[in-house]
Amino acid sequence: MNISLVAPFIILLAVSTASALPFMMTKSTVTVETESPGLDTSPDIIDLNSTVGQTFFKQLKSHYHYNHIHKFYRPQLKNHCGIATAVIGMNTLLNADVWTQKSIFTQDVTRFLNESTVYKQGMTLDNLFKVIAAVSDIPQMERMVFQPKKMMDVFQRDVKRFYSNSFMSGLMAINLNRKTLWGAGGGHFLLVASEINEHGYILLHEVSATRPSFFVKVESLVYSMSTPDSVSLLPRGWISLLNA
C-alpha cells in the first residue's frame, strides 16, 4: 500500500503494510462532531430532494458513483460520521458489505481509537486515515491536506480523476467545516458523489439519516475544507481512496 501525506510544510511518504501504518502517522487532533442543523436556503447549498436538486441530478453526466455509494449507505451512528464515511467508502470500492460501524473497531484500530471516544467527541481526518489504513485491503490511498490557495486546483483535479467516468477508479472522503456552510456545527465527514456540474456545484452523499444529500457550490466547499482545525491549525481537506 502506497501512502502519501501532504500538508503545509509537511511531506510524509511511506510504503508499509496496513497494520504498521497507524504507528507512522502524525499526532491526532480533537474535532467535536455534533449534529448540525438542517440545510438552509443558502444558494450555495441545494437539497437533492428539492426541485433544483432533482434537476441538477438529472443533468449529471453519470449517476454511477452516487448509485454505488447509495447502495452501501448505512446511516451513521451517534457522532460516527467519520466511521460511517470510511465504512461506506470501503464497501463501495469492494462492492460488498465487508465492514460495519461496529466491526471496523478491530484490535489494530482500538490501539489508537476506540468507539467510546468516537461517541464522545467524534474523530479527525488523521483518525479517519489511520482507521482505513489499519483495516483496508485497498491497494492505495492518498491523504491530502493542502494550503488553502492550492486546494481548489488539486480538488478539481481529483474530482475529474475519480468522477468523470462511469467506473469506480476511486472515491473522495471529505472533511468540511459545517459552520462555514450552515452557520453552526463543527467538523463533518461525507463522500463526494458526482463530478462538478456546469453550474459549479458538486453532489455530496450524506451519511446522516436526519439530513439529505445535497449539492454545494465548489468554491464554498473548498473554503469550508480549507478552514483550519481548531487544534492543529491545518486545513481539513480530504482522503482519496483508490481502487485496484
pLDDT in tens, 1-31: 443 333 332 222 222 223 322 222 222 333 3
Number of C-beta neighbours around residue 107 at 10 A: 8
pLDDT confidence of residue 183: 80
Average predicted confidence (pLDDT) for the chain:
79
Q: Which residues contact 43 (CB under 8 A, 6 or more apart)?
A: 217
State the average pLDDT over residues 210-219: 94
pLDDT confidence of residue 6: 35
pLDDT confidence of residue 148: 62
pLDDT confidence of residue 134: 94
pLDDT confidence of residue 119: 85
Beta bridge mates, 239? 143, 173
State the average pLDDT over residues 112-124: 87
pLDDT confidence of residue 146: 63
pLDDT confidence of residue 28: 30
pLDDT confidence of residue 16: 23
Number of residues in the chain: 244
Please tell me the distance from the alpha carbon of residue 82 to that of residue 239, in angstroms, as a whole number: 11
Position 136 pLDDT exceeds 90:
no
Q: What percent of the chain has pLDDT over 70?
A: 75
Position 121 pLDDT exceeds 90:
no
Please tell me the distance from the alpha carbon of residue 226 to that of residue 150, in angstroms, as a whole number: 10
Please tell me the distance from the alpha carbon of residue 176 to that of residue 187, in angstroms, as a whole number: 6
pLDDT digits 0-9 by tens, 49-105? 999 999 999 999 999 999 999 999 999 998 789 999 999 999 999 999 999 999 999
Position 162 pLDDT exceeds 70:
yes
Angle at 172 between CA 70 and CA 13, to 5 degrees: 145
**Is this prediction's pTM over 0.95?**
no
Number of H helices, E strands in the chain: 9, 9
Position 122 pLDDT exceeds 90:
no
Q: Which residues contact 110 (CB under 8 A, 6 or more apart)?
A: none
33 backbone dihedrals φ, ψ, rounded to 5°? -120, 95
pLDDT confidence of residue 167: 84
Q: Which of 190, 238, 242 is nearest to 216 (CA)?
A: 190
